[in-house]
Amino acid sequence: LLQLAAPLGVFGWVYSSLKQGLVDMEKMFELLRVDREVADKPGAQPLQVRGGEVAFENIRFGYDPRREILHGVSFRVPAGKTLAIVGPTGAGKSTISRLLFRFYDAADGRVTIDGQDVRDVTQTSVRGAIGIVPQDTVLFNDTIYYNIAYGRPGATKEAIEHAARMAEIHDFVMTLPDGYETKVGERGLKLSGGEKQRVAIARALLKDPPIMLFDEATSALDTATERGIQANLRAASSGRTTLIIAHRLSTVIDADEIVVLEKGRVAERGTFDQLRAADGIFATMWAKQQEQQNLAAQSAAPGFQL
C-alpha cells in the first residue's frame, strides 16, 4: 500500500498544484519522471550564470548503450549568439536539446554552461536557466493571462504584459473583447499555430532565461506564417544565447552558426551563405525545400486546378 500511496501522492500534489497554478513545467517534468535518469551530485551547487555560453565537447550518447546516437558532437554557442541545428530526421537534433536540459547524461564528453559541467550543478538551476519554446505548446483551458503566467507562477501583471509585448502577442490580445481574460484552449478561443507559439514565447520570456531553446514544429506553414515565426524568433532570442532545432531552413538564415547534423555527427558547419556556397548537404536540403515551397505556392495560386 505504501508503494502505491507514494506515487499517488505525487500525482495528487501535481493535480492540486496545477489547479492553483503553482507548478512550473520543469518541476512537473521532474516529478513525473519516476525512474529518473540523472540525479544531482551530493552537495551540487547552483549554476552560476554569466553570459550563458553553451558548449558541447565531444559528446557521445545513446539512449541504449548498445546503440550510440551521437558520435562525438562538438559545438560552442558564445553568450548571446544563435546556433541552429539542422539535419535529416533521426539525426539526433532533439537528443541534443534533451542533453542540454540534462534529461540524460552523455556517455563521454561534457556539456557546459558558462564553463560549468551540467553534471556538477543542480538540475533545477540548469533548467531554470533555459527557456523552452516546444514544438507543440500545450494551452490550458484557462485565460490567456493564466497561460502566460504559467511560465513564472506569481509574476506581476506588468511582467506578464511586458513578456507578451516582447513576444508580439500583446496587440493581438488587446483586440479581443475580454483581453487577457479571454479563455483559450479546447473550450475557448482557438489560437492559430503562430499565436500559440507566441504565447509559448511569452511564457518562456517571463522566466527571463539567459538561454533559449527553440524546438521548431515540423508542420508545413504558409509563407506569411513563416515570416511571422521568424519575427517571433528574433523577439525571443534577442540578447540571449539561442539554440534552434530547425526543421524549416528559412528560420536559420540569420543564425550566427548553423550545424548540420547527419547520423549523429556534425557533417557541416558555417553561416547560411557559407553553407550554401559549400554545395554540400545543406545546399541540397535548401534547394529541395525551395522547390517544395514553389510547388506549394503554385498549387495555392488562384485558378489552379488539379
Which of 91, 166 has the CB closer to ligand ATP? 91
Part of the chain binding ligand ATP (CB under 6 A), chosen from 75-83, 89-97, 155-163, 286-294? 89-97
Part of the chain binding ligand ATP (CB under 6 A), chosen from 5-13, 48-56, 84-92, 137-145? 84-92
Which of 101, 180 has the CB closer to ligand ATP? 101
Q: How far is the CB of 280 from ligand ATP (least distance, A)?
A: 18
Binding of residue 219 to ligand ATP (CB under 6 A)? no
Unique residue bearing C-alpha cell 533548467: 127
Q: How far is the CB of 233 from ligand ATP (least distance, A)?
A: 18
Strand partners, 245: 85, 215
Name residues whose C-beta falls within 8 Å of residue 3's C-beta, 6 or more positions apart in sequence.
none
3-state DSSP assignment of residue 214:
strand
Cβ burial of 184 (10 Å; 0-12, 13-18, 19+) is buried
Part of the chain binding ligand ATP (CB under 6 A), chosen from 90-98, 126-134, 137-145, 277-285? 90-98
By CB under 6 A, the count of residues binding ligand ATP is 10
Query: Which of 113, 107, 86, 145 shows the shortest CA–CA distance to 212?
Result: 113
Binding of residue 63 to ligand ATP (CB under 6 A)? yes
Q: Angle at the Cα of 23 (from 19 to 24), degrees rounded to 5? A: 140
Which of 52, 92 has the CB closer to ligand ATP? 92
Q: Which of 4, 34, 35, 89 binds ligand ATP (CB under 6 A)?
A: 89
Binding of residue 93 to ligand ATP (CB under 6 A)? yes
Which of 38, 277 has the CB closer to ligand ATP? 38
Reading phi first (left if > 0) and then psi (alpha if -120 to 50, else beta), residue 206 is in alpha
Binding of residue 37 to ligand ATP (CB under 6 A)? no
Binding of residue 90 to ligand ATP (CB under 6 A)? yes
Which of 24, 68 has the CB closer to ligand ATP? 68
Strands (DSSP E) along the chain, which ranges?
Answer: 54-61, 70-77, 82-86, 108-113, 116-117, 130-133, 211-215, 241-245, 257-262, 265-270
The grid coordinates of residue 129 equal: 536557466
Which of 93, 203 has the CB closer to ligand ATP? 93
Binding of residue 29 to ligand ATP (CB under 6 A)? no
Binding of residue 91 to ligand ATP (CB under 6 A)? yes
Part of the chain binding ligand ATP (CB under 6 A), chosen from 1-9, 43-51, 86-94, 227-235? 86-94
Binding of residue 251 to ligand ATP (CB under 6 A)? no
Q: How far is the CB of 109 from ligand ATP (least distance, A)?
A: 16
Q: Are 211 and 129 in contact (CB under 8 A)?
A: yes
Alpha helices, DSSP H, located in 181-280: 193-206, 223-237, 272-278
Longest Cα pair distance anywhere in the chain, in angstroms?
68
Q: Angle at the Cα of 86 (from 59 to 294), degrees rounded to 5? A: 170
Torsions phi, psi for 285 (to 5 deg): -60, -40
Amino acid identity at 254: D
Q: Which of 92, 131, 210, 228 binds ligand ATP (CB under 6 A)?
A: 92
Which of 92, 151 has the CB closer to ligand ATP? 92
* Residues at the site binding ligand ATP, with contacts judged by CB under 6 A: 63, 69, 87, 89-95
